[in-house]
Amino acid sequence: METVASPGRTLALLREKGLVPRKSRGQNFLVDSNIVRKIAAVAELNPYDIVVEIGPGLGALTQELAYRGGLVIAVEIDRDLLEVLRENLRDKGNVRLVAGDALKVNFDELVAGFLENAGGRLPTYKLVANLPYYITTPILMHLLTGKFRINLLVLMVQAEVGGRMLAAPGSKEYGALSIAVQYYTEAAAILKVPRTVFYPRPEVDSVVVKMRPRTTPPVQVDNEDFFFRVVRAAFNQRRKTLLNSLGGLGWERDLVLKAMTDAGIDPRRRGETLSIEEFARLSNALQRRVERR
């Protein structure tokens, strides 16, 4: 089967099916087979691996994943593209196509549904995705907080989003997303992907981020939900001091001040200067103060 990852083949397919890439869904298709191979290589697939792909598009990366891996389960929300995928991948007996919204998918249940021995313990699996900008953060948080049995994520995102995912304290990109990625995974940028390898060509470059879910978070927090509530509040108004930002959660100013003292954190600091360790100390101190009042 001819690879989809070329400008000529992609344009021919779109014309043949009367399809126009939907900007509202961030549809930019990979048209460089070399980049496709590099992305697939990041997933470290072997013939026994199960891999879930989100947003297969026309199937350029799906073809390569099927060549390298075992079972490939591709989730696509666009039913017009699903018809194209069925034709493009008809010679790939190890690919299963699923119509669905990745934001609403329980990936463990999805994988189990394609395994004959689903009654036993579900094996771990890998997830690969080219995430459109408009929905990157919601899908990423769904993947991070879903407690799925994913042992490796390979995500292609816009370069700006990748910068926020991997940002360090004190940088302008650092925020709640950076903390979440660090809390749930060990992550690194692996590959820069220029805008020129897509059709239609997006306005910005992309980056491939490799993420290994942690078995244990890097910090101990008394309550995970409370921790992220504090983190979000700290970044909600970046120009405010922590004392003022956390006051917006409805706690008395004096209580917040005492908790910051307990945690050894200067109340004049801003959220973007705190490390994940400092956020953990602050969250735990705040929760204890709130519970005692």
Q: What is the pLDDT of residue 23?
A: 81
47 and 123 both lie in a single domain: yes
140 and 265 both lie in a single domain: no
225 carries a ligand binding annotation? no
Instruction: Compute the CA torsion angle 246, 247, 252, 255 (nearest 10 deg).
Output: 30
Residue 218 lies in a domain: no
Q: What is the pLDDT of residue 1?
A: 55
Residue 228 lies in a domain: yes
47 and 179 both lie in a single domain: yes
Tell me: the pLDDT tens digits for 261-271?
999 999 999 99
What CATH number should be reported for the domain holding residue 260? 1.10.8.100
- Specify the number of domains making up the chain: 2
Q: Which two tokens stand for residue 226?
A: 């409370």
Q: What is the pLDDT of residue 32?
A: 97
**Nearest C-alpha neighbor of 211 from the set 233, 182, 237:** 182
The confidence band for 237, taking pLDDT boundaries of 50, 70 and 90, is confident
13 and 136 both lie in a single domain: yes
110 and 254 both lie in a single domain: no
Tell me: the pLDDT tens digits for 32-62?
999 999 999 999 999 999 999 999 999 999 9
Structural domain harbouring 42: 7-213
Residue 206 to residue 203: CA distance in whole angstroms: 10
170 carries a ligand binding annotation? no
Q: DSSP assignment, residue 123?
A: P
Q: Which two tokens stand for residue 256?
A: 């917040």
Q: Which residue has the higher pLDDT, 191 or 2?
A: 191
Q: Which residue has the higher pLDDT, 88 or 182?
A: 182
Q: What is the pLDDT of residue 48?
A: 96
Tell me: the pLDDT tens digits for 120-156?
789 999 999 999 888 999 999 999 999 999 999 999 9
Do the strands 50-54 and 206-213 form a parallel or antiparallel pair, or are they unpaired? Answer: unpaired
55 carries a ligand binding annotation? yes
Terminal alpha carbon distance of the chain: 68
262 carries a ligand binding annotation? no
Residue 219 lies in a domain: no
284 carries a ligand binding annotation? no
How far is CA 206 from each of CA 43, 104, 106, 198, rounded to the nearest angstrom?
Answer: 17, 25, 27, 10
94 carries a ligand binding annotation? no
